[in-house]
Amino acid sequence: MFGEYSIGDLGAIFAMQGFAGLILFSVYVLMALGLAIIFGQMGVINMAHGEFMILGAYVTWMTSNFFQSYLPSLFAGYFFIAMILAFIASGALGMLVEWGLIRHLYKRPLDTLLATWGLSLILQQAYRSIFGAREVGVELPQWMLGSKQVTDTIEIPINGMFVMALTVLITAAVSYVLFWSRWGRQVRAVVQNRVMAGAVGINTEKIDRYTFGLGCGIAGIAGSAFTMIGSTGPTSGQLYIVDTFLVVVFGGAASLFGTIASAFSISQAQSTMEFFMSGSMAKVLTLLAIVAILMVRPQGLFALKVRK
Amino acid sequence: MESPRFLSRTDLLGLAVLAVLLVVILPLSLDVFRLNLVAKYLTYAFVAIGLVLCWGFGGILSLGQGVFFGLGGYCMAMYLKLEASSVENTKIQSTPGIPDFMDWNQITQIPWFWQPFHSLTITVIAILVVPAVFAFLIGAAMFKRRVGGVYFAIITQAIAAIMTILIIGQQGYTGGINGITDLRTLKGWDIRPDHAKVVLYFVEVAFLFGAILLALFVRHSKLGRILVAMREKEDRVRFSGYSVANFKIFAFCLAAMFAAVGGAMFTLNVGFMSPSFVGIVPSIEMVIYTAVGGRLSIFGAIYGTLLVNFAKTSLSESFPQLWLFGLGALFIAVVLIFPNGLAGIWRDYVQPLFDKLISKRKPGSDPTGGKSFGPVADGAPAE
């Protein structure tokens, strides 16, 4: 299958596909970061995570419409405001869901899967009723369009670079919050030993609520970033949820670094193979490889060593 | 100790009630179209019984039952399709004698994995063996390495996703997104007219009772007790010297075979098979049928399947928007409020009422009020 390409061609193909893979990587990382916090830290399976992402996308879409009609002079910067709004909207909904649903189910992880699946159906239908069944696209500001020519054969779109810069920023922020801030220490304390953490004066219920909210809020940002590269419909979230869970599990559920590494390898494998065969076969092979590796190494690539 | 016989008085009563409902009441009160609809629902009941065994008793939540349902269904559909694609039936094609979708996809020969399905005997064996082998491979790879719970659920879900993408992508071999359609005869017997639908309904009900009896047998055997013990305290069972992995694999394979029989009956009753019954969404819906009926009750699972599907059909006919809200609310309500589903409501609220009435009429006849026959370890999984 490589026969008909010269070495130079192959280099360019890998570079181009590699870059396309990097955009997919960014979406995976942004979605998986939120999921890794919720699943890895709290042990909750949030099947509605995709719908939180789509909420962020719809918020971005509404913001862009608002700016277009009322503040056209500021349109170039709407995206930054949209992202903050997306974070707040998804995070607030997440905290509401934690209060109404998740906190009753902490001891039954498999049941959180069913309950949040029900929630995702409700959210999907709500989006359909409010925004219509058709997919909507966001208009990008002028400075995000176009691309940068690197060499004769390699061309990098600006919105792709923006998404990646955003991913780096968010990842750095999340790891700072979780590993260095006072609040992050409390989160990790609650995860390791809930009773003891409560005994030393940490309000575990509050920590749970904010952790879940943070995870959902990051999903909202992922949705916001998602609008730059694709259109949004009521069921778009469902397309990504299985992939994202595999990313988290493959990386090792409690390890943020593992999540990033697995998102990278999965997105690169998928996008490189897509050039040589149909997209569906590339997807099948990627998923099969992940499942096979997980069977050999069920704890994922980067598992924390813990006693059970 | 409970006596070794596997049919208790409550089980016999349950069988009798279900038999009256499925064999007498429904066929007499419904027209053929509605009866065929019930037949379609009952194919999911096979899956639900399997899920009671592996999820309710064994604690293994599989989100890939659609895969096994699909394997059974596709095996049956391949046989029926080959029979429907005789040279006379397909003489307008560029290559007569092959299924129509292969002709559209420029495939001129029947592929090797279709060849065995010329024979009905091999097809019937394949319906049982293919899903069981597949389930064994997954189960052995996972349970031997002590992967369970959430991780197992996610991986089975991924397998359901892989299966759908594969079926849709390989259009020439599988019929793609449309599935295998236009099925006509089974060994020359036309499956499409009304009287055939009625016959198939009764055949299916007979198989269903076979499945129920087998499940009850497993439930009351030592195996069933070990499954429940494993769900509650896996390590203790392991330390007692049992091979936890092997018991789990067995339960998972059995559930897969039940699902496959359901799938094969689905193809016969509905007349086609498509990837929309294989993927993640149908697989999770099958879990909710079991959950609504009660994950610990074999009979409950059947009633749950019938009820949810009746609700779905009637609600989505008149209020298509409300249905998804209703289904979503059902998921949440079952998990939050009724973890044991309909069967739990029956056992906790209705049966005590009956017992009270009976004991009033015959004071002191049975101090346990019939409770000694109730399931022994059927507490809620982890409250």
pLDDT at B202 over 60: yes
Mutate to test the interface with A, among B336, B337, B338, B340 (most CBs of A within 10 A): B336
CA distance linking residue B251 with residue B341, whole number of Å = 22
Q: Token pair 């862009």 is at which residue?
A: A64
B125 Cβ contact list (under 8 Å, min separation 6): none
Q: Give the chain A residue whose CA is nearest to the CA of B167.
A: A280
Q: Give the chain B residue whose CA is nearest to the CA of A253.
A: B151
| Contact across the interface for B339 and A110, Cβ inside 8 Å | no
CB B153, CB B63: distance < 8 Å? yes
Average pLDDT of span B295-318:
88
pLDDT at B40: 93
- Domain assignment present for B190: yes
The pTM of this model reads 0.87
Q: Which of left, alpha, beta for B370 (phi over 0: left; psi -120 to 50: alpha)? A: left
**HSE of B14 in the Cβ direction (CA atoms, 13 Å)?**
22
Give just the sign of the alpha carbon dihedral A136, A142, A144, A148. positive
Helices (H) and strands (E) in chain B, counts: 17, 2
pLDDT at A3: 61
The closest alpha carbon to B258, from B50, B11, B20, B86, belongs to B50
pLDDT at B364 over 60: no
First to last CA, chain B: 26
B141, B153, B332 ranked by CB distance to A113: nearest: B153
- The 10s digit of each residue's pLDDT in A240-277 is 888 888 888 888 877 788 888 898 888 888 888 887 78
Angle CA B140–B162–B260, to nearest 5: 60
pLDDT at B366: 45
CB B118, CB A216: distance < 8 Å? no
Mutate to test the interface with A, among B324, B325, B327, B334 (most CBs of A within 10 A): B324
What is the span of the domain harbouring residue B268? 9-379
Strand partners, A136: A232
CA distance linking residue B241 with residue A107, whole number of Å = 28
**Residue A149 is inside which H or E element, if any?**
strand A147-149
pLDDT at B371 over 50: no
- Domain assignment present for B4: no
CB A34, CB A219: distance < 8 Å? yes
| Contact across the interface for A288 and B280, Cβ inside 8 Å | no
Beta strands, E only, chain B: 185-186, 189-190
Residues of chain B positioned with their CB less than 8 A from the CB of A288:
162
- Domain assignment present for B330: yes
| Contact across the interface for B381 and A108, Cβ inside 8 Å | yes
- The 10s digit of each residue's pLDDT in B139-171 is 998 888 888 778 899 899 999 999 999 999 888
| Contact across the interface for B165 and A287, Cβ inside 8 Å | yes
Percentage of residues in chain B having pLDDT higher than 90: 36
| Contact across the interface for A118 and B141, Cβ inside 8 Å | no
More confident residue, B47 or A111: B47
Q: Is B319 on the interface with A (CB under 8 A)?
A: no
| Contact across the interface for A113 and B329, Cβ inside 8 Å | no
**HSE of B30 in the Cβ direction (CA atoms, 13 Å)?**
19
| Contact across the interface for A45 and B155, Cβ inside 8 Å | no
Q: Is B177 on the interface with A (CB under 8 A)?
A: no
Helix (H, G, I), strand (E, B) or coil at B147: coil
ipTM: 0.85
pLDDT at B376: 40
- Domain assignment present for B2: no
pLDDT at A237 over 60: yes
The closest alpha carbon to B280, from A32, A238, A105, A95, belongs to A238
CA distance linking residue A210 with residue A52, whole number of Å = 15
A104, A121, A128 ranked by CB distance to B327: nearest: A121
Q: Is B29 on the interface with A (CB under 8 A)?
A: no
The closest alpha carbon to B174, from B61, B72, B275, belongs to B275
The closest alpha carbon to B99, from B173, B169, B176, belongs to B173
CB atoms within 10 A of CB B13: 12
CA distance linking residue A204 with residue A192, whole number of Å = 12
pLDDT at A250: 87
pLDDT at A6 over 90: no
Overall domain count for chain B: 1
The closest alpha carbon to B151, from A194, A41, A291, A260, belongs to A291
pLDDT at A144: 73
Least confident window among A16-20, A243-247, B248-252, B274-278: A16-20
pLDDT-derived band of residue A164, with 50, 70 and 90 as boundaries? Answer: confident
pLDDT at B130: 94
A101, A110, A125 ranked by CB distance to B321: nearest: A125
pLDDT-derived band of residue A303, with 50, 70 and 90 as boundaries? Answer: low
pLDDT at B375: 43
Q: What are phi and psi of B79, to 5 degrees?
A: -60, -50
Average pLDDT of span A111-119:
90
Q: Give the chain B residue whose CA is nearest to the CA of A128.
A: B321
- The 10s digit of each residue's pLDDT in B213-247 is 999 999 888 888 888 898 888 888 888 888 888 99
Average pLDDT of span A277-288:
85
Residues of chain B positioned with their CB less than 8 A from the CB of A308:
none
CB A234, CB A54: distance < 8 Å? yes
pLDDT-derived band of residue A305, with 50, 70 and 90 as boundaries? Answer: low
- The 10s digit of each residue's pLDDT in B326-350 is 888 888 988 888 888 888 888 888 8
CA distances from B280 to A100, A117, A132, B86, B160 (A): 26, 11, 24, 34, 6
B279 Cβ contact list (under 8 Å, min separation 6): B66, B160, B161, B163, B164
- Domain assignment present for B61: yes
Q: Give the chain B residue whose CA is nearest to the CA of A130.
A: B321
Average pLDDT of span B105-122:
87
- The 10s digit of each residue's pLDDT in B173-193 is 888 888 888 888 888 888 888
Helices (H) and strands (E) in chain A, counts: 12, 2
| Contact across the interface for A107 and B382, Cβ inside 8 Å | yes
Residues of chain B positioned with their CB less than 8 A from the CB of A281:
169
Q: Give the chain A residue whose CA is nearest to the CA of B156.
A: A291
Q: Is B71 on the interface with A (CB under 8 A)?
A: no
Average pLDDT of span B44-62:
92
| Contact across the interface for B150 and A45, Cβ inside 8 Å | yes
Q: Give the chain B residue whose CA is nearest to the CA of A45.
A: B150
Amino acid letter, residue A193: N
pLDDT-derived band of residue B373, with 50, 70 and 90 as boundaries? Answer: very low
- Domain assignment present for B3: no
- Domain assignment present for B344: yes
Beta strands, E only, B263-314: none
Angle CA A52–B163–A301, to nearest 5: 65
CB atoms within 10 A of CB B303: 24
Mutate to test the interface with B, among A125, A240, A250 (most CBs of B within 10 A): A125
- Domain assignment present for B223: yes
pLDDT-derived band of residue B317, with 50, 70 and 90 as boundaries? Answer: confident
Output the average pLDDT for chain B.
85
CB B287, CB B65: distance < 8 Å? yes
